Chain A
Amino acid sequence: MSESAKLAVAGLISVALRRKLNRVIDVEWLLHNDDYAREVMRIARKQEMPELSQYAARMDELIFGKAIAVQSAPVVQDTMRKSTVVNDGEDEVGIENQYIGALR
């Protein structure tokens, strides 16, 4: 399957989870780490939302194939993490601030 198809479904899962659980997932890591992907699918199915379940099933199919998708997913506690950007340097903060309320 193409990377773009995986990315599109992962994006939809990300949006739905954030709205339902206010939980942010790392979409790119989801595509590259099987354990993380299984855990995300497990959480998605647990919500019992048809939309999320559908996305999870589709993602299982894209990443693992249907046969593997039915295997129990090991719980991985530490792989869920927020995808936030932190700017520590004062210079970066200053550059960012120039775009508050104006582009130019």
Chain B
Amino acid sequence: MNISINFKRNVEMGKSMNWCQKGNRKCGLWLNTPAFLLFMLLSMNVAAESSQDATLPAAAVATSGTDAANIISPAQVDIPETPAQVVVPPPPTAPYAVGFDKINTGDTAWMLSSTALVLLMTIPGLALFYSGMVRKKNVLSTALQSFTIVCLVTLIWVVIGYSLAFTPGSTPFIGGFDRLMLNGMFYDKTGSTLTVSHIASSIPESVYVMFQLTFAIITPALITGAFAERMKFSAMVVFMILWSLFVYAPVAHVMWEPSGFFAASGILDFAGGTVVHVNAGIAGLVCAYMLGTRRGYGREPFSPNNLIYTMIGAALLWVGWFGFNAGSAVASDGRAGMAMLVTQIAAATAALTWMAIERIYKSHATMLGACSGAVAGLVAITPASGFVGVGGALSIGFAAGFFCYWGATSLKRMLGADDSLDVFGIHGVGGIVGAILTGVFADKVIGGIDASITMQIVGTFSTLIYSGVVTWIILLMVDLVIGLRVSDDDEQDGLDISQHAERVI
């Protein structure tokens, strides 16, 4: 009997290959063990019977017109009558080519939608969320920073970022150069072949590149809230280019690429609690220290110009977060559904918790508090969204509301930095809380794996240290060459006029 192995379907058996390689980092080791081989043998027949796709041949596909050296194709395997004699090929460890029939249209449709949702989080979501909280004279500059980062990171990502983050490298800390300029990625209509990522084998690689690009965009965009109202536009541009290359790409590789150091160590980060939020949070705090406080900070009121903008932005973030978390399942399956459910629960719980604390300590709940609480809950559930159930989501949401309120108020005063829009207080603290609580509430029935609190703490604080130190070095360099802050006069006039010669009426 000849049965070709479809890796995704065979490994799935309750947990998808996609999850295995993105959400569950222990798989990086597990896939190399004899136990995996045995599991493959035992599951083969079941998979063959239960899935029509599993019986389809997955022969190495033609690579006409492409660079064959960059492609690893799963080999066709003959399955003899005696399972013990089966030779199972190693799982793909780099992007490879497949026929059109290997693409799951349902997964692809969901990932296309998720990609659009996550991009919506940055523009206009984050742009509005931040713009509403700054003074009127800085509205345009704040929104323009997010918009510019979208353009900048897009180019960085296709030139080198994707390759550094999501291809295997010679070390477990950074990827290789196989996909420079997306070289080797192709879609061949005449040959009915295309490439897929080894991390997401059921969707076209082009879709995976785009999906991950939106994460690479929003992470540096989050940092802009920490240095709002005082950073030179030119310095911001240079800083973001360097930060994307030297901080985001390595951290994403270490955590999400199966050969990455944290991935192979079993540290869990389903959708980016550490890669996105802890990373951006600590970078924001370092920026706030390096740039110093705004003129008049602590003496004059810095009133938000329009909290309706902030509410609209927070709502767009909330909706977009379904693409962020449920999309990280890289499949339109039950796990994505669970991720969406717990995302909603955590956001609502954290928003109510924040408002309740405000009601107790300040005698009134506020719009800004409700928006902040919702975002805090979304941040904290991010690393856990593919691993926890309803109880875990309620707990993480409550903890996020409590600790992020503390982070944006008491901790902020203790730290003494002018983190303008509380990037560390919400994204940093929320990310840390979520990453650690993932180790507490991860449910093996949902995620298929036991989490280690110790390893979660190690992963979180390693990221804090790496991101903080490298961010500091980059800022020093930019300060030396360009200078980080606008002049006092420019700051007084507002960045809209002084940096962009525009103004909101």
Contact = CB atoms under 8 A, between A and B. Distances in A.
Given A11-B497, A15-B493, A18-B493, A99 B301 contact: yes
B39 interface: no
Count class of interface residues, chain A: 20 to 34
A51 interface: no
A101 B301 CA distance: 7
A11 B301 contact: no
B421 A103 contact: yes
A27 B505 CA distance: 10
B503 interface: yes
A97 B300 CA distance: 8
A28 B301 contact: no
B412 A28 contact: no
B452 to A, nearest CB: 33
Given A18-B493, A101-B297, A103-B408, A4 B413 contact: no
Nearest to B362: A98
B300 A4 contact: no
A100 B301 contact: yes
A41 B502 CA distance: 20
Interface string A9-30: 0011011001100000001100
B50 interface: no
Given A103-B368, A104-B368, A8 B501 contact: yes
A30 B496 CA distance: 19
B409 A100 contact: no
A12 B408 contact: no
B409 A102 contact: yes
Interface string B491-505: 001000110011101
A15 B498 contact: yes
A86 B421 CA distance: 25
B34 to A, nearest CB: 54
Interface string B378-418: 00000000000000000000000000010011001100000
Contacts of B505: 7, 28
B298 A103 contact: no
B462 interface: no
Contact of B413 (A28, A98, A102): A102
Residues of B contacting A: mostly: loop
Identify which of B369, B425, B489, B503 gathers the most chain A CB atoms within 10 Å of its CB.
B503
B422 A104 contact: yes
A90 interface: no
B298 A100 contact: yes
Residues of A contacting B: mostly: helix
B302 interface: yes
A97 B302 CA distance: 9
A11 B501 contact: yes
A4 B412 contact: no
A88 to B, nearest CB: 15
A8 B503 contact: yes
Contact of A99 (B303, B413, B421, B489): B303
B189 interface: no
A96 interface: yes
Contacts of B412: 102
Contact of A101 (B133, B298, B502): B298
Interface in B422-471: 422, 425
Contact of B422 (A18, A100, A103): A103
Contacts of A102: 408-409, 412-413
Contacts of B502: 4, 7-8, 11
Given A4-B502, A12-B501, A100 B489 contact: no
B372 interface: yes
Nearest to A31: B505
Interface string B294-325: 00011111111000000000000000000000
Contacts of A7: 502-503, 505
Contacts of A97: 301
B408 A104 contact: yes
Contacts of A27: 503
B409 to A, nearest CB: 6
A15 B368 contact: no
A15 B497 contact: yes
A2 to B, nearest CB: 12
A104 B369 contact: yes
A18 B369 CA distance: 37
A31 to B, nearest CB: 9
Contacts of A96: 301, 303
A68 to B, nearest CB: 24
Contacts of B413: 101-102
Interface in A20-78: 27-28
A29 to B, nearest CB: 12
Nearest to A95: B303
Identify which of A19, A98, A102, A104 gathers the most chain B CB atoms within 10 Å of its CB.
A104
A12 B409 contact: no
Interface of A: 4, 7-8, 11-12, 14-15, 18-19, 27-28, 95-104
14 contacts: A7-B505, A8-B501, A8-B502, A12-B501, A15-B497, A28-B505, A97-B301, A98-B301, A100-B298, A100-B301, A101-B413, A103-B368, A103-B421, A104-B369
Given A12-B497, A14-B497, A99-B303, 10 more contacts: A8-B502, A11-B497, A15-B497, A28-B505, A100-B299, A100-B302, A102-B412, A103-B408, A104-B368, A104-B408
